[in-house]
A and B are shown apart, each in its own frame.
Chain A
């Protein structure tokens, strides 16, 4: 069974700093997608960034970028120039490319950006 592990339950940084959230996963599949989702307090889950496993190039979306290490099964999220609005729970998620869409989530990292 696929598993996703986020080893940092909580993190806290100052505004404008750079922060990296860790995620490792376990799968025997070679084709899959990885995602980072953000869930602000009492608000909707938002897709932050995605990475296809067959692509070696790391995905980037504005201030958000990933470090995808397929052999190590590692998928970390870097947030540059952090903003107060980045305060949220961040979930790493995995889905196999096999038709049915079943996201497997990590336990989440609670990120707080301090002014």
Chain B
């Protein structure tokens, strides 16, 4: 079974621009979660989607948004990029049902904001 895939793997954007990152979960997984990883703040939860609905959201400004499609693929969008948004963005998928809490991570998208 193919693992979690994320595209693109690397991005360089300018302050003020917006960016969209994509995540394809493991086949059969209905939950997709997004995390931001930085050297200073570590791994922080952004949001989780299950069956096209956002189930939980972390403490990030409204510039960070996401969505999930009927095939469970997910995208996250960051608008009006700031220098502090430079990070590794990780997507993780899981079955999403009761007692299915193991999350499997993709390779990440490294975003650099200049």
Chain A residues packing against B (C-beta within 8 Å): 33, 35, 37, 43-47, 50, 91, 95, 97, 99-108
Partner of A101, one of B33, B42, B43, B105: B33
B35 adjacent to A103 (CB under 8 Å): yes
Secondary structure type dominating chain A contacts: loop
Would you call B64 an interface residue if the criterion is a C-beta within 8 Å of the partner chain's C-beta atoms? no
Across the interface, which residues of A come within 8 angstroms of B31, CB to CB?
101
* Cβ of B40 to closest chain A Cβ, rounded Å: 10
Mark interface residues in B88-99 (1 if CB within 8 Å of A CB, else 0). 001010101011
A103 adjacent to B45 (CB under 8 Å): yes
**Which B55-114 residues have a C-beta within 8 angstroms of A?**
55-56, 58, 90, 92, 94, 96, 98-99, 101-108
Given known pairs A101-B31, A105-B43, the reply for A95 and B55 (CB within 8 Å) is no
Partner of B101, one of A33, A104, A105, A107: A33
Secondary structure type dominating chain B contacts: strand
B58 adjacent to A101 (CB under 8 Å): no
* Closest B residue to A33 using CB positions: B101
Given known pairs A105-B42, A107-B42, A108-B42, the reply for A100 and B55 (CB within 8 Å) is yes
Whole-angstrom distance between the alpha carbons of A99 and B48 in the complex? 11
A101 adjacent to B106 (CB under 8 Å): no
Given known pairs A44-B106, A44-B107, A102-B56, the reply for A91 and B33 (CB within 8 Å) is no
A99 adjacent to B55 (CB under 8 Å): yes
New A-B contacts (4) at CB < 8 Å, excluding given A95-B101, A103-B103: A33-B101, A45-B105, A101-B94, A105-B42
* Closest A residue to B3 using CB positions: A44
Partner of A35, one of B48, B55, B102: B102
A103 adjacent to B33 (CB under 8 Å): yes
Across the interface, which residues of B come within 8 angstroms of A43, CB to CB?
107
A101 adjacent to B48 (CB under 8 Å): yes
* Cβ of B89 to closest chain A Cβ, rounded Å: 12
* Cβ of A107 to closest chain B Cβ, rounded Å: 5
